[in-house]
Amino acid sequence: MRTVFRADASAALGGGHVMRCLTLAKSLEKLGWQCGFAVNATALEIIPALAGEDILVLDSIMAAEAENIRKNWPDGADWLIVDHYERDAGWEAGCRGWAKNILVIDDLADRPHDCDVLLDQTPGRASDDYAGLVPPGTRLLTGCDYALLRPAFAGNRQTSLARRTGAGRLNRILVSIGATDPDNHSLVALQAIAESGLPLAVDVVLGAAAPHRSAVSAQIETMGKEVRLHVDVANMPELMARADLAIGAAGTSTWERCCLGLPSLMLVVAENQRLIAERIATTGAARVISGPRDALADRIAGALRDLADDGDALSDMAAKAARICDGRGCDRLGLELVPPGQAKNGRPVALRLATANDEGLILEWQRHPTSRRFARNPQVPSAKEHHQWFTARLADPECLLTMITLNRKPAGVLRLDPVAAPAAAPQTPAFEVSILISPEHRGQRVAEEALRFARRWQQKAVIVAEVLPENEASVALFQRAQYGPGAGGLLYNYP
């Protein structure tokens, strides 16, 4: 499938829009999608990680953009993804026909859009906020569950949360106020840390194109060897995981900090960040530092001293941050972009990530007398055993535990667990599939369509199934879904 992103970056805009698009693109490319970017010229300077992507650099004439995008990708796109505050329904409508589907990423809810799906990761965002701004039937994906983070954040989540249990201690600070930080709030934060008088280790993160990098470096030189500047970092999840507190903007990095349970002192450095800052602060995961610029350093220093004296408050902020975002937004959105199948009754069959709310329903299905007959472990699980298993699966970012939905209502479970690549495709990612259909939805072609959906989702992977030969119904099911016999008596479905 082909996806084209439209986003810009500059010293004034920062790199957040392009960065979250790039994050989503990497996730989709891992699944086998082809991705391209239509960006302004400065985006390549602000986000060096764009190098190597399929890029169209646009000029400043907005009226010609849609036509230039069409010419660059003449075969069209399955999805056009727009992450841009200065594009609206008029521009998006001009891309219809060339783009089969349009996804808009927004967090302002202040202008009309012509899209099939709209994503807004603002905490507490309600679908009603877009009433009258999107066409009827637009799918609205709202809230922090859809925050688009690199997989390394989910991968570091359990380690980061584990080190924050118990009373918190303020020893290390992360200062990260955007890739470009055009108003040099990083310098203000460093001055505040120095003013606090606390013996803190500090990591400061900036992009290479940050206009005030030399001033920040000069301030760091006055603060000792425990204060370090990191430029164009590749290890941001690790820096966040080892920090006890962040001083940061209320932009896209907000969700990264929450995923890792990192408490924040938040600065509103752009008007579009104000709502996010207010809502995150309401949860108790962060404190907003506001006021005139010449008062910010004193206020940050005071907040640092308060938290240094109150480890319980720091620990409480960490726990509340961790509840906001789990880092699986790209997985959730990726599933939303896959075209659904159709059951016998014509209703759509799709997959979504399982949540804690699904635990009881899955246990009920597992305990049905017919569910264990051909299972690898025929023993019916106790509630305690199921809870331990289910919690571990949810916490494992490598495990793709999904609910099968029929007309968006739960109808079964499909799980993909990473396994070693088969000898026939040694360089190919591989998963073992497990599937369970609820008793009331059997015989409706739900299982077959769920398996086909999994193939459309994981386009690059080998999918393996272990089915007992005497389970003739399941053997026939997998054969209909294009699985064939292979090594070890397993059934294989190749890309």
User: What is the mean pLDDT of the segment spanning 177-189?
Assistant: 95
User: What is the mean pLDDT of the segment spanning 216-233?
Assistant: 96
**The pLDDT of residue 27:** 97
Over the chain, what is the mean pLDDT?
A: 95
CATH superfamily, domain 338-493, is: Gcn5-related N-acetyltransferase (GNAT) (3.40.630.30)
**The pLDDT of residue 31:** 95
How big is the chain, counted in residues?
495
Residue located via tokens 């640092």: 304
pLDDT surpassing 70 at residue 374? no
The CATH number given to 151-322 is 3.40.50.2000
CB atoms within 10 A of CB 383: 11
∠ Cα 105 175 203 (to 5°): 125
Residue 309 pLDDT level (bands cut at 50, 70, 90): very high
Residue 372 pLDDT level (bands cut at 50, 70, 90): low
**The pLDDT of residue 470:** 87
Residue 380 pLDDT level (bands cut at 50, 70, 90): confident
**The pLDDT of residue 270:** 86
For residue 29, say whether it is annotated as part of any ligand binding site.
Answer: no
**The pLDDT of residue 276:** 93
For residue 53, say whether it is annotated as part of any ligand binding site.
Answer: no
**The pLDDT of residue 379:** 78
pLDDT surpassing 90 at residue 60? no
Which positions are catalytic? 17
Integer Cα distance of 375 and 436 in angstroms: 10
Indicate the fold that domain 2-142 takes in CATH.
Rossmann fold (3.40.50)
CB–CB of 462/430 below 8 Å? yes
The pTM (predicted TM-score) of the whole model is 0.92
User: What is the mean pLDDT of the segment spanning 224-237?
Assistant: 95
CB–CB of 25/39 below 8 Å? no
pLDDT surpassing 80 at residue 366? yes
pLDDT surpassing 80 at residue 44? yes
Locate CATH 3.40.630.30 in the chain: 338-493
Q: In this structure, what token pair is assigned to residue 136?
A: 């009827």
User: What is the mean pLDDT of the segment spanning 463-470?
Assistant: 92
Locate CATH 3.40.50.11190 in the chain: 2-142
Integer Cα distance of 106 and 332 in angstroms: 17
Exposure string of 418-448, with b = 16+ CB inside 10 Å and e = fewer, is eeeebeeeeeebbbbbebbbbeebeebbbbb
